[in-house]
Amino acid sequence: MREHFHQQLNELDKNLINMVKLCETSIELAVSVLLDDKLEKLKKVINIRDQIDNEADDTEDICMKMLVRQQPLARDMNTIAYSLKLIRDMQRIGTQAVDLAIIAKDISPEEMKCSNLIRIMTKDTISMLKDTVKAYLKKDKVLATDVTNRDDNLDNNYLKLKKELSTQIFSNPDETSSAIDILMVAKYLERIGDHTVNISKWIIEIS
């Protein structure tokens, strides 16, 4: 009985890792919509969001079977409960990547005057996600705590970009619409960072 339960736990881990990797890819693609092949990449982001949702359904099914058919210990119960919360945060990341891409498709490369900060925020967001996976696999509180601390840098870059765009709008009112779109892209990256922090906080609790 316990052997089968541990097999299901391993399957659960594999599904969660795959979901996070899909989240990473969706963020990278969503931001790349800013540069080229806008509609084609938007379709890919939407497709990945659908894959994340399907993976979430399968993973939730595993969790429910483990709860109903097995006799999980207290620690196992925490892992299952955490996994269900993790699924929700990753689904939100997938949805927000789509929202980000939809906005990005209407921004021309010429309008991306603050693109370097967007690239930095994208890199930081994906790095946080990758380290969250490592922290989950190793049940590493130190690494999970580091991820939560790095969210401050993401927030600071968002505020820095917001300030730059405000100056841009003041100097060139005609660029207001594109500046707001760019700011929304940054805001979605900042929100995705928040979901990553939520995941890391749960790792700290169950480790």
Per-residue pLDDT of the chain (207 residues; tens, 9 = 90+): 567 777 888 888 888 888 888 998 898 888 888 767 688 888 999 999 999 999 999 999 988 888 877 666 777 777 788 888 889 999 999 999 999 999 988 887 777 665 688 889 988 998 998 898 788 878 899 999 999 999 999 999 999 999 988 888 888 888 788 888 889 989 999 999 999 999 899 888 877
- Dihedral sign (CA 100, 103, 104, 105): positive
Q: What pLDDT score does 45 carry?
A: 93
Q: Angle between the 38-69 and 74-104 helix axes, to the nearest 10 degrees?
A: 170
Q: What pLDDT score does 114 carry?
A: 59
User: Which residues fall within 8 angstroms of residue 127, CB to CB, at 6 or more apart?
Assistant: 150
C-alpha to C-alpha distance for 175 and 166, rounded to whole angstroms: 10
Q: What pLDDT score does 124 carry?
A: 93
All structural domains of the chain, each given as residue ranges with its CATH number in brackets, are 2-206 (1.20.58.220)
Q: What pLDDT score does 2 carry?
A: 63
- 8 A C-beta contact, residue 132 and residue 144: yes
The phi and psi torsions of 172 (rounded to 5 degrees) equal -135, 85
Q: What pLDDT score does 1 carry?
A: 54
Q: What pLDDT score does 40 carry?
A: 86
